[in-house]
Amino acid sequence: MAQIKIKILGGGREVGRAAVAVGSNGKYVLLDYGINFDEKDIPQLPLHIRPNELAAVAVSHAHLDHIGALPMLYTSARIPAVMTKVTKELSKIMLSDFLKISGYYLPFEQVDIEMMLDSTIDLYYDSEISFGDYTIKLINAGHIPGSAMTLIEVGDTRILYTGDVNTIDTRLVKGAFLDGIKADILITEGTYGNSIHPSREEIEKEFIESVREVIDEGGNVLIPAFSLGRSQEILLLLYEKLRWANVYYDGMVRVINDILVSHPEYLNRYDLLVRALKEFRMVKNSGERRKIVKSESNIIVSSAGMLKGGPAVYYLKKIMDDPNNAVFLVSYQGPTTPGRSLLENGYLTEGGGQVKARVQWFDFSSHAGADGLIKLVKSVRGLSKVVLIHSEEETGLVFKEKLREILNDIDIYFPVNGDELLIDLN
Ligand SMILES: [Zn+2]
Ligand SMILES: [Zn+2]
């Protein structure tokens, strides 16, 4: 009988800050080590784990809520880290940028990021690597390019961790691989465990029609979008449907695009992305930005997705007073962000002035909805335990009940940070 210990270091009843250690016989495999931001934009770190307790780290993808605290582990140790090659290259950019912006609050420096990258072993989807008693395999998770689910085998026990997962194909990436993976324990995200996304087709139709309405009348459309994932998906959609329009892209997205196009194996519509990036215009400096906001019928895709900074804030300030212009939000807006305030109150910050431009939100999620998550859970063969993380409390409690109704004889856990689950398998 195998006993598996699961330590929840982050992501317990919260979205983001994913950090879970899975162990048997003393040493652990760490699954992600991410951060969250509080309402004052201060990074919130996961709980501590001693580097000498770790056999290896497996990284699901390069969003900060999964990698933001990783370099902390490398200030005094070298632990092998496993991730896809594109995740490694993206992590370098994301972590260096994070350090530049939030360095004051972070217990690591650039040399620790470099040490982490030096300790990284890149792995293709569906290939394996062993560390002591553990064998690790990465499987496509469909969330962003290079995103992976992790399958850990120890003795005769198999544990599958989803990371962030999407089960539908998008233009940017193919949906997660769900073809009957065998696992005893599933550790799954549940960001949207309580809701079903409207069909992607409908959302895209509504979005494209709305963009057309604005540019046909001479207005400018600002689309604030995360630089990794959402920006490229929106550019692909615009290229397919409005190729003739004046489309610009700006912000950190420029560096990330270069990395993505050098890894065609992790993209769904590689050719389309290359053409979109070539034919649409990249904004190079502030002079170009000024020209764009003074002319008509432009579409601007720019970071940051929640309007917390970046060129998107500059564009917004320039276009917000004219009701012919529009701001179309296409990403999740965190509860205390300027983007959420814009949606709910019509201004970015109190005293910052009312936005008169049209404001609308579109559900372009890169996470599975409840239906996709259930499909995923049902596709796992031999399952006996489910651990639910990366989900707000309210959402997760509803999702847990839903799972209980459809899964007979399977234990479902919805732990909090600091919990240690001891799981005995027969
Ligand atoms: Zn996440
Ligand atoms: Zn993510």
DSSP letters of 52-113?
A: GGEEEEE---SSHHHHTTGGGGGSS----EEE-HHHHHHHHHHHHHHHHHHGGG-S--HHHH
Contact criterion met (CB below 8 Å) for 414 and 401 = no
How far away, in angstroms, is 164 Cα from ligand 2 center? 5
Cis ω for the linkage preceding 312 (within 30 of 0): no
Contact criterion met (CB below 8 Å) for 260 and 62 = no
How far away, in angstroms, is 350 Cα from ligand 2 center? 30
- Give residue-wise pLDDT tens across range 40-90: 889 999 999 999 999 999 999 999 999 999 999 999 999 999 999 999 999
Query: What pLDDT score does 39 carry?
Result: 82
How far away, in angstroms, is 389 Cα from ligand 1 center? 10
Range 200-361 classified under CATH 3.40.50.10890: yes
Task: Tally the residues of the chain.
Answer: 426
Number of the ligand closest to the Cα of 65: 1
Query: What pLDDT score does 221 carry?
Result: 98
How far away, in angstroms, is 411 Cα from ligand 1 center? 24
How far away, in angstroms, is 390 Cα from ligand 1 center? 7
Q: Order the strands of the 81-83 sheet from edge to edge.
A: 120-122, 81-83, 54-58, 28-31, 19-23, 2-10, 420-425
Contact criterion met (CB below 8 Å) for 91 and 51 = no
For residue 350, what pLDDT band results from cuts at 50, 70 and 90?
confident
Contact criterion met (CB below 8 Å) for 288 and 337 = no
Number of the ligand closest to the Cα of 334: 1
How far away, in angstroms, is 163 Cα from ligand 2 center? 8
- The three state secondary structure string of 184-248 is CEEEEECCECCCCCCCHHHHHHHHHHHHHHHHHCCCCEEEECCCCCHHHHHHHHHHHHCCCCEEE
Share of the chain above pLDDT 70, in %: 100
How far away, in angstroms, is 405 Cα from ligand 2 center? 28
For residue 336, what pLDDT band results from cuts at 50, 70 and 90?
confident
How far away, in angstroms, is 353 Cα from ligand 2 center? 32
Q: Residue for token digits 């992590």?
A: 91
* Domain range 2-195+366-425, CATH class: alpha beta
Q: Order the strands of the 281-282 sheet from edge to edge.
A: 281-282, 246-250, 298-302, 221-224, 326-329, 358-361
How far away, in angstroms, is 164 Cα from ligand 1 center? 5
Strand, helix or coil at 42?
coil
How far away, in angstroms, is 35 Cα from ligand 1 center? 9
Instruction: Phi first, then psi: give them for residue 90, nearest 5 degrees.
Output: -70, -35
Q: Report strand pairing: 54-58 vs 81-83.
A: parallel
For residue 315, what pLDDT band results from cuts at 50, 70 and 90?
very high
pLDDT at 6 over 60: yes
For residue 10, what pLDDT band results from cuts at 50, 70 and 90?
very high
Number of the ligand closest to the Cα of 228: 2
Number of the ligand closest to the Cα of 144: 2
Number of the ligand closest to the Cα of 61: 2
Average pLDDT, integer, range 128-157: 97
**Among candidate residues 316, 399, 304, the one with its CA nearest the CA of residue 37:** 304
- Give the amino acid at 297: S
Number of the ligand closest to the Cα of 36: 1
How far away, in angstroms, is 107 Cα from ligand 1 center? 21
Domain extents for the chain?
2-195+366-425, 200-361
pLDDT at 184 over 80: yes
Number of the ligand closest to the Cα of 15: 1
**How far is Cα of residue 11 from the mean position of the Cα atoms in its chain?**
13
How far away, in angstroms, is 36 Cα from ligand 1 center? 10
Residues 6+ apart with CB under 8 A from 351: none
Please provide the average confidence, as pLDDT, over all residues in the chain.
96
* Cα gap 151→161, rounded to integer Å: 6
How far away, in angstroms, is 67 Cα from ligand 1 center? 10
Query: What pLDDT score does 1 carry?
Result: 57
